[in-house]
A and B are shown apart, each in its own frame.
Chain A
């Protein structure tokens, strides 16, 4: 690829959105071309600049209004649902409704699904309930000892500031029927929660999924089970997991 082609790919390259083969070609070119390297630095510098723009958080009054607005709307939609059901039963055979509801009843959660749902709920609770931290520190040597005497294991704690994911603290949480360590990391305005507890079995597992708009990663390493939850994008969360596994 020549410089002109590379230039057209630099934004996607630094956003980690290129396919790996293309990304490798770009990296190889950058190693040998000082001009393109400067252009990349320029693109990265603009990105850092934009991330300094204000992030507008929703006013509390708006949040309260939306919570109160809900019951009335639900009543209306329930009424509509009933009306729709009556119409359907009256005009059709009603078999569609029956099949649908029995299919829903048959759908049960497997244990991994259940834990995934739990960690997302915990992530959301921590962010919305404002109890994100029991110990607030960017120092892993402050966070790790805090768990002493509060858990029957010692969670591995590492700061990933070098990789762009600074540790911001930790808290005691309750997941999968047991007290667990929740470690909190930051990525720009976004929060990543990592839940760690000893894995009972030798099973090595890993999992990636999206739940209610949050990205979830699960893996086992060194006898520990890890779950990471965040609203950062897939590529960034993978980068985070990779850094944490080093």
Chain B
């Protein structure tokens, strides 16, 4: 039974937007990008054969981003406040702990945004979207081994940006 566009792709809208938001680093561009990606997805919808609709859609978001913003993709860009982010305070914490938590969220957001796009996207796809290495390989278009090494380097880079105040434990790296 063929499934409709709404049934298959709208459930992954949050995933598409979150990924787009981390690629573009601002809400307006992220909305434009997702809209373009959906129009494109609609056009190619009949070619979606496999069942992994989410990875398929994220691949289109990524390709649309590279097609639309070839110069900006991969550059540092400016930091825009993430007012639409779902970073509501945890109500089980007291106000002081909440303030500390909010500060941490903000620090991690800034740190992630300063990373080069290649590193940032694998961290977002893995840690926020929960994609498997295989799915990340498909979305980003790199071999599995590269996913593994790039994630390791991305985590190390992020730790470097956050260090020393945020990270506990010693740094990796043998002499």
A interface with B by C-beta (< 8 Å)? 3-4, 7-8, 10-12, 15, 17, 38-39, 41-43, 45-47, 49-59, 62-63, 65-67, 69-70, 73-74, 77, 104, 109, 117, 121, 124, 127-128, 187-190, 209-214, 231-236
User: Main SS of the interface on chain B?
Assistant: helix
Q: Does the CB pair A15–B52 fall under 8 Å? A: no
Q: Is the Cβ of A77 less than 8 Å from the Cβ of B31?
A: no
User: With A51-B128, A70-B5 in contact, is A46–B51 under 8 Å at CB?
Assistant: no
Q: Are B56 and A3 in touch, CB under 8 angstroms? A: no
Given A4-B174, A50-B158, A58-B14, the answer on whether A212 and B8 have CB atoms closer than 8 Å is yes
Contact yes or no, A210 B51, CB < 8 A: yes
Q: A69, B170: Cβ atoms under 8 Å?
A: no
CB contact between B131 and one of A56, A188, A209, A233 (< 8 Å): that residue: A233
In the complex, are the beta carbons of B130 and A69 less than 8 A apart? no
CA A57 – CA B86 in complex, angstroms? 6
Given contacts A11-B151, A70-B6, A128-B10, contact A213 B109 (CB under 8 A): no
Please indicate the chain B residues that have their CB under 8 angstroms from the CB of A65 in the complex.
Answer: 35
Residue on B nearest A66 in the bound complex, by CB: B38
Q: Which A residues lie within 8 Å of B104 (CB)?
A: 49, 52
Would A53 and B170 be within 8 Å (CB), given that A67-B6, A236-B130 are in contact? no
B residues whose Cβ falls under 8 Å from a Cβ of A? 1-3, 5-8, 10-18, 21-22, 27, 30-31, 34-35, 38-39, 42-43, 51-57, 82, 84-87, 101, 104-105, 108-109, 112, 123-124, 126-128, 130-133, 135, 148-149, 151-152, 155-156, 158-159, 162, 166-172, 174
Pick from B10, B15, B43, B52: contact of A63, CB below 8 A. B10
Q: How far is the CA of A233 from the CA of B130 in the complex (A)?
A: 6
Contact of B54 among A15, A63, A213 (CB under 8 A): A213
Query: What residues on A are CB-neighbors of B112 within 8 Å?
Result: 50, 53
Query: Provided the pairs A38-B170, A109-B1 are in contact, do residues A57 and B14 lie with their beta carbons within 8 angstroms?
Result: yes
Q: Pick the residue among B1, B10, B133, B170 that contacts A12 (CB under 8 A).
A: B133
Closest residue to B30 on the A side, CB-wise? A56
Query: Are A127 and B11 interface neighbours, CB within 8 A?
Result: yes
Supply 6 further A-B pairs (C-beta < 8 A) apart from A38-B170, A57-B18, A124-B7. Answer: A8-B149, A49-B108, A55-B85, A58-B13, A77-B43, A214-B11
Q: Can you report 7 residue pairs joining A to B where beta carbons are below 8 Å apart?
A: A45-B168, A53-B128, A62-B31, A188-B127, A189-B86, A213-B52, A213-B57
Chain A residue at minimum C-beta to C-beta distance from B156: A46
CB distance from B91 to the nearest CB of A (A): 12
Inside 8 A of A211's CB, which chain B residues have their CB?
51
Q: Is the CB of A67 within 8 A of B10?
A: yes
Name the contact of B155 in the complex, choosing from A43, A213, A235 (C-beta under 8 A). Answer: A43
Q: How many angstroms from the CA of A236 to the CA of B104 in the assembled complex? A: 26
Contacts of B22 in A (CB 8 A): 56
Measured between beta carbons, the chain B residues less than 8 angstroms from A104 are 2
